[in-house]
Structure 1
Amino acid sequence: MSRAVPRPRIAVTGKASRWAPGWWCARAAIALAGGRALRATPRRGLPAALDGLVIGGGDDIATDLYLSDAAPDARADRERDAFELAAIRTARASGTPVLGICRGAQLLNVAAGGTLYADLGRRRRRTSDRANPLPCKRIVLKRGSRLAAIAGRRRMAVNGLHHQAVRGLGAGFTVSARDADGLVQAIETVDRTFTIGVQWHPEYLCYQRPQRRLFAALVAAARRRPGPSTAQG
């Protein structure tokens, strides 16, 4: 009698809040892909053993974390910023697959020394600055990128729930998608490890095959890891 293959343990970070639609949608997407999602917040900490990590969307990142001349940002959730930056660095050091979603993509870049546009409103000409969870924006994926290979296409429509985005790339990253205004819509590492950040929310678009394939690729990469990483929590 064959034994069932354990589902890879994927932590999904986010805000410590009862109203967390991003968490529930990411949990469902990961489950459909064959993984087991575990919620991680500053209060809960990270699970003791992980095979993969999703840095979820949410509030703006403190501006003084990526702009050297910015005053300390008192409006930001500094506890969450610190928690997720530490989670990213631990995952990157251990080779744990990471998917950054919206804020999470931005934080991947900041963790690598990159910068962000604090407000995209004045930089948009062809795309809308209005938040929309439905596919409202056309993007082009870079030929030969890992993301394009996963999606199985180079053009697709995505949602938009952000007003910040990657500006200067962090060390070890390359741009893998842009929108009609030339703004960065996805980044990935150049070392071929599974570390991808997408500016949209794929967990809200799981009725689209390319978005399901993104979560499937994360779970597959987590399954290939030689052993789970450890963290206190």
Structure 2
Amino acid sequence: MAKPVIAITGPERGAFGPRFLVALAVRCYGGVPLQLRPSQHEQSVSFDGVVVTGGHDVDPVLYAAEPEVHPKYDPERDKLEMAVIKQALQQRKPLLGICRGAQLLNVCRGGNLHQQLKEHRYNTSHRWTVLPLKTLCLEESPSLLAKLLKCQRCKINSLHNQAINQLGDGLKVVARDLDQLVQAIEDPDYPFLLGVQWHPEFLLFLGRQRRLFKALVARAREQQQG
């Protein structure tokens, strides 16, 4: 039986660290990483699962909003990742969205975003950190994320300017931070559809964070076989 192919999306150039670490996790659990870049957005690709990685802010035009800030957008990457997410949803392939990947998943389902977070932070720092220094609070209701992390609270990192505001269709919030900002979403009626606002690829030294990638590859293998 062939190993499951896990597509890993990202920008045309750069982001070597996140791409490498996600690919490392995928390989570690028996998957074959397939790196996808914006120049490939018109090509037909086949995959068994997908990880949509973090990066530049999502262009607000995708959720019909006026820009409130003017960071660097990447419309070609948006186009690629929207297409990949829609393909995964249509084929019910397992999908893990990381940071902007979670945000874009929410937008694909009809939701929108907070474009800037400083005014929404009261109990936490707006400082970026790859270290697990911020607190993740899981919702009390059962969820895939709770099953994987096996905790009610744990520490995460934070590298984002934007966050999920209104939820997309079929999604539910399964974790927040101490400011009640959304930190994780999933679809309980989907085999594996999870979006996390933090960067688990930078926390592979923590077993609970590795389980996100392990579960994705395992689910892709099950669907491949079945």
Match of 1:231 in 2: none
Match of 2:220 in 1: 222
Q: Secondary structure at the match of 1:27?
A: helix
TM-score after normalising by structure 2: 0.93
Are 1:89 and 2:99 matched, yes or no?
A: no
Are 1:42 and 2:14 matched, yes or no?
A: no
Q: Deviations over 1:102-141 (max 9, x none)?
A: 0000000000010100000111011111110010111111
Match of 2:158 in 1: 160
Are 1:116 and 2:113 matched, yes or no?
A: yes
Does the 8 Å CA contact 2:48/2:224 hold for their aligned counterparts? no
Q: Distance in 1 between matches of 2:134 and 2:28?
A: 25
Q: Secondary structure at the match of 2:183?
A: strand
The code of the aligned residue for 1:193 comes to P
Please report how far the alpha carbon of residue 167 of structure 1 lies from its aligned counterpart in structure 2 after TM superposition. 0.3
Please report how far the alpha carbon of residue 68 of structure 1 lies from its aligned counterpart in structure 2 after TM superposition. 3.6
User: Gapped runs of 5+ residues in structure 2?
Assistant: none
Match of 1:211 among 203, 209, 215: 209
Q: Deviations over 1:43-62 (max 9, x none)?
A: 14467321100001000010
Q: Secondary structure at the match of 1:191?
A: coil
Q: Deviations over 1:204-224 (max 9, x none)?
A: 101101111110000011011
Please report how far the alpha carbon of residue 15 of structure 1 lies from its aligned counterpart in structure 2 after TM superposition. 0.6
Q: Distance in 1 between matches of 2:72 and 2:53?
A: 19
Q: Distance in 2 between matches of 1:161 and 1:103?
A: 10
Within 5 Å, which residues of 2 pair with 1:71-82? 75-82=72-79
Q: Distance in 2 between matches of 1:213 and 1:14?
A: 22
Q: Deviations over 1:17-67 (max 9, x none)?
A: 145211001011111122111100111446732110000100001012124
Does the 8 Å CA contact 1:33/1:212 hold for their aligned counterparts? no
Are 1:54 and 2:66 matched, yes or no?
A: no
Q: Distance in 2 between matches of 1:120 and 1:160?
A: 12
Does the 8 Å CA contact 1:145/1:176 hold for their aligned counterparts? yes
Please report how far the alpha carbon of residue 12 of structure 1 lies from its aligned counterpart in structure 2 after TM superposition. 0.4
Structure 1 runs of 4+ aligned residues shifted over 4 Å read none
Q: Secondary structure at the match of 1:168?
A: coil
Does the 8 Å CA contact 1:38/1:47 hold for their aligned counterparts? no
Match of 1:171 in 2: 169
Does the 8 Å CA contact 2:174/2:186 hold for their aligned counterparts? yes
Match of 1:26 in 2: 22
Q: Distance in 2 between matches of 1:98 and 1:51?
A: 9
Aligned residues: 223
Does the 8 Å CA contact 1:51/1:227 hold for their aligned counterparts? no
Residues 139 and 18 of structure 1, relative CA distance in 2, 3 Å threshold: closer
Q: Bigger CA drift: 89-98 or 142-151?
A: 142-151
More helix by share: 2
The code of the aligned residue for 1:7 comes to K
Match of 2:144 in 1: 146
